[in-house]
């Protein structure tokens, strides 16, 4: 084989390497965005659960000294806290479960792919985070 017959081979190799680097860059970018979104949603869920856990049933505490939650107030505080979050771009839904002992916040979100959206335009990365907080007596 002469060098002229192999002139297109290097071009194909370079094209293949460029496509591979593009795919790896897309995966790493979307993976980084996924971790960042999960961290943001986890922070929102944790803060909302702590806000809900601050809703003590004051009447029960004054009467018996028992530290327990007012479930209705706890759920309302947790939902309100999530609604005030600054970064709501990935937020798709919130569920709050509260009883007399704990408040649990489930935050769901979705992340649209960036570079990998070219390969799968309908593909979204679902993210779900759960946080639970309980009230406790200070001191």
Q: In 3D, which of 48, 40, 51 has the Cα closest to residue 105?
A: 48
Q: In total, how many domains does the chain have?
A: 1
Q: What is the pLDDT of residue 68?
A: 86
- Paired residues of 56 in beta bridges: 69
Q: Sign of the CA dihedral 41, 46, 50, 53?
A: positive
Task: Domain of residue 57: give its range.
Answer: 7-133
The tens digit of pLDDT for each residue in 105-132 reads 999 988 887 776 776 677 788 889 999 9
Q: What is the pLDDT of residue 113?
A: 78
125, 111 Cβ separation under 8 angstroms? yes
Mean pLDDT (whole number) for 85-107: 86
Give the containing element (helix H, strand E) for 93. Answer: strand 91-98
Is there a domain that residue 26 lies in?
Answer: yes
What is the model's pTM? Answer: 0.76
Is there a domain that residue 122 lies in?
Answer: yes
Q: Per-residue confidence at 139, pLDDT binned at 50, 70, 90?
A: low
Is there a domain that residue 2 lies in?
Answer: no
Is there a domain that residue 138 lies in?
Answer: no
pLDDT above 70 (res 2): no
Mean pLDDT (whole number) for 86-91: 74
Is there a domain that residue 36 lies in?
Answer: yes
């Amino acid at each position: 084989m002469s060098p002229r017959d192999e002139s297109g081979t290097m071009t194909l190799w370079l094209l293949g390497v460029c496509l591979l680097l593009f795919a790896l860059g897309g995966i790493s970018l979307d993976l980084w965005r996924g971790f960042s979104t999960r961290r943001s949603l986890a922070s929102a869920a944790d803060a909302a659960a702590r806000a809900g856990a601050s809703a003590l049933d004051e009447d029960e505490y004054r009467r018996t000294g028992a530290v327990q939650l007012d479930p209705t107030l706890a759920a309302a505080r947790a939902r309100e806290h999530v609604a005030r979050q600054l970064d709501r771009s990935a937020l798709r839904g919130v569920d709050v479960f509260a009883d007399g002992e704990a408040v649990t916040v489930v935050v769901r979100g979705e992340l649209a792919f960036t570079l990998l959206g070219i390969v799968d335009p309908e593909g979204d990365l679902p993210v779900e985070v759960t946080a639970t907080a309980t009230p406790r007596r200070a001191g």
